[in-house]
């Protein structure tokens, strides 16, 4: 069967195209004849096929209608229903994903490698932690078994030699670390030859300080610090007993140390001579005798001076009871005000009874400052002459002296004029009941008290007559 060229369609077909078209039409004709031979019209065949496909669609319960339609439309969009909807002759078959085969040998190797890395990392972490802890213990001296060794340092030994000796004696564990510590802190110079008694629980800093200043001295001396002594007098007494130089001792009472609780209440008047005058508690102390000071007056005794001062400050803090602090609060006085007042009482009085009466006079004046702004204690003159004038001059001398002169300054002086004992401190806190505003003491130790200036002047005459 042949067809005329479809020129009216605007399509030009070559001979091959015509041949393909003829074959297609021939195959369609054969299929139609087969259908007629079976008694089925072409439309019936289409309907039969379509019905069969619809039956298959309805039997796919696992796939939703919308999902099936979507997949069928994508695959067979050329099969329409009579109502205009679309269907596919067959449901879409989903492909099963192929399972990947697991290489168990490779997986086990990876697991083993991961475990091995974890174990190694853990071991390294533990080792590092142990080293860090050991280093901290060695530097600080904490948590170490205490052992004491007698160490002899010779003049020929350098820093490395000294550190190696400390390691050999079991006083330190990491000599390389201590060497680095010394170099980093710039403390390589100043080690002194001699015999030292050292302990393993001493820190690097303490060991270095000991090897530079603290030699082992066995001889001791008992030093009694009298009540009412000034800081300068205490320093001179320590030097006389070869405990330390007075110059070195002064370093630890001239300024606040910021080490003790009582220091928080110290009023740092700019004209105060010594910050810690009054807090070197008078008592009997045992100190080491520095033999080198006997041979060399310029020998550095700063460490020994520090130890002596700290003994006295610590003793003061121990003597300061809770009841004393509560009484200060009741009177509205600070620790510093109490000690300054006690220093005046200590220098003016001689026993507990007259100290209590003298305290009442000072308290009466302070409580009536409008009438008696000046305390007028002669003992401040003595402090100016003995302690202030020897160390100051010019305008500075005038300023500080005026701040201590109770005939010029109102109320308490700028600082204590001595180091008072327990009796004087107690008297400052518990004055006697009196209405006196004046007192004096005769040369033979008799005390006179007065309410008015007229009575006081008469007491002066009486006291002078006693001396004749």
Question: Which tens digit of pLDDT belongs to each residue from 368-378?
Answer: 999 999 999 99
The percentage of residues in the chain with a pLDDT greater than 70, rounded to a whole number, is: 74
More confident residue, 12 or 468: 468
**Predicted pLDDT at 2:** 44
- Structure tokens that stand for 416 in this block: 């204590």
Half-sphere exposure of 212 (CA within 13 A, CB side): 14
* Tokens standing for residue 293: 């000071």
Structure tokens at 134: 């050991």
pLDDT at 422 over 60: yes
Instruction: Say what the pLDDT of residue 451 is.
Output: 97
Amino acid 81: pLDDT: 46
Least confident of 46-50, 302-306, 431-435: 46-50
pLDDT digits (tens, 9 = 90+) for 384-411: 999 999 999 999 999 999 999 999 999 9
Locate 365 and state its tokens.
């004046």
CA dihedral 136, 142, 148, 149 (to 10 degrees): 10
222 SS3 class: strand
More confident residue, 282 or 191: 282
In sequence order, what E strands does 65-219 have? 148-153, 194-199
User: Residues 234, 283: contact at Cβ < 8 Å?
Assistant: no
pLDDT category, 110, cuts 50, 70, 90? Answer: confident
Distance CA(229)–CA(281), nearest Å, equals: 9
97's tokens: 């994903």
Residue 414 vs residues 212, 337, 368, 404, 405: alpha-carbon distances, Å:
38, 10, 20, 6, 9
Query: What is the arithmetic mean of pLDDT over 347-367?
Result: 97
Among the ranges given (52-66, 237-251, 279-293, 354-368), the one the predictor scored with the smallest mean pLDDT: 52-66
pLDDT digits (tens, 9 = 90+) for 435-466: 999 999 998 999 999 999 999 999 999 999 88
Query: What pLDDT sits at residue 420?
Result: 98
């Amino acid at each position: 069967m042949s067809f005329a060229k479809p020129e009216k369609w605007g399509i030009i077909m070559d001979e091959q195209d015509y041949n393909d078209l003829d074959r297609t039409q021939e195959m369609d004709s054969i299929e139609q004849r087969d259908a007629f031979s079976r008694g089925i019209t072409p439309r019936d065949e289409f309907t039969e096929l379509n019905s069969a496909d619809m039956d298959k669609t309805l039997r796919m319960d696992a796939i939703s209608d919308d999902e099936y339609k979507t997949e069928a439309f994508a695959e067979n969009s050329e099969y329409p229903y009579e109502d205009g909807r679309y269907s596919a002759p067959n449901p879409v078959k989903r492909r099963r994903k192929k399972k990947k085969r697991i290489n168990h040998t490779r997986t086990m190797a990876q697991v083993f490698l991961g475990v091995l890395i974890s174990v190694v990392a853990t071991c390294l972490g533990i080792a590092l932690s142990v080293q860090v802890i050991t280093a901290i213990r060695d530097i600080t001296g904490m948590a170490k078994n205490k052992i004491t060794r007698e160490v002899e340092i010779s003049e020929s030994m350098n820093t490395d030699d000294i550190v190696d000796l400390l390691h050999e004696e079991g006083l330190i564990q990491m000599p390389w670390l201590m060497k680095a510590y010394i170099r980093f802190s710039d403390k390589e110079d100043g080690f002194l030859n001699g015999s030292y008694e050292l302990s393993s629980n001493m820190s690097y800093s303490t060991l270095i300080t000991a090897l530079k200043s603290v030699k082992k001295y066995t001889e001791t001396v008992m030093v009694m610090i009298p009540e009412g002594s000034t800081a300068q007098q205490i320093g001179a007494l320590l030097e006389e007993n070869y405990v330390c130089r007075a110059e070195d001792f002064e370093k630890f009472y001239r300024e606040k140390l910021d080490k003790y609780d009582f220091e928080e209440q110290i009023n740092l008047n700019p004209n105060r001579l010594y910050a810690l005058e009054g807090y070197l508690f008078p008592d009997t102390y045992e100190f080491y005798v520095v033999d080198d000071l006997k041979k060399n007056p310029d020998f550095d005794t700063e460490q020994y001076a520090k130890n002596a001062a700290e003994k006295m400050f610590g003793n003061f803090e121990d003597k300061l009871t809770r009841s004393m602090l509560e009484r200060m609060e009741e009177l509205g006085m600070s620790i510093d005000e109490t000690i300054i007042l006690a220093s005046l009482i200590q220098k003016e009085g001689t026993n507990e009874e007259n100290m209590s009466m003298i305290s009442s006079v000072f308290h009466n004046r302070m409580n009536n400052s409008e009438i008696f702004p000046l305390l007028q204690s002669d003992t401040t003159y003595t402090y100016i002459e003995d302690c202030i004038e020897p160390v100051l001059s010019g305008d500075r001398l005038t300023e500080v002296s005026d701040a201590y002169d109770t005939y010029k300054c109102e109320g308490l002086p700028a600082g204590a004029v001595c180091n008072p004992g327990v009796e004087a401190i107690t008297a400052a806190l518990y004055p006697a009941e009196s209405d006196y505003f004046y007192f004096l003491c005769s040369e033979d130790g008799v005390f006179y008290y007065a309410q008015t200036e007229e009575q006081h002047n008469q007491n002066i005459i009486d006291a002078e007559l006693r001396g004749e």
